[in-house]
Amino acid sequence: MSNKDLDILFNEAVERVNAHTEPFPADTLLKLYAYYKKATNNFSQPKSKKPIINAFKINALFQAKDISEDEAKQSYIDLVNNYFLYRK
């Protein structure tokens, strides 16, 4: 898959997540957060008002620290596709 195709699929997955109105399970949300941050090379610190939320986000980022930008995009796409395929 070309980088352009991967970017298109990634952006479509992001739009799908942003358009979803129901809450995501916490574990899925944290994975989406970490993959998105890695995929977009966004290294800013979590900004939740609750320290425990920031700790969970930092942990999710730590778990994704060894994947590349393209791997993060593909993982994000796969997670979104699986979530919408299997949710009921």
Beta strands in 1-88 (DSSP E): none
User: In the chain, helix, strand, coil percent, each to 5?
Assistant: 70, 0, 30
pLDDT at 88 over 70: no
pLDDT digits 0-9 by tens, 24-75? 999 999 999 999 999 999 878 888 889 999 999 999 999 999 999 999 999 9
Total count of domains within the chain: 1
| pTM for this model (two decimals) | 0.90
CATH number at residue 55: 1.20.80.10
**Whether the Cβ atoms of residue 25 and residue 80 lie closer than 8 Å to each other:** no
Q: Range of 33's domain?
A: 3-86
Q: What is the spatial distance between Cα 84 and Cα 45, in angstroms, rounded to a whole number?
A: 29
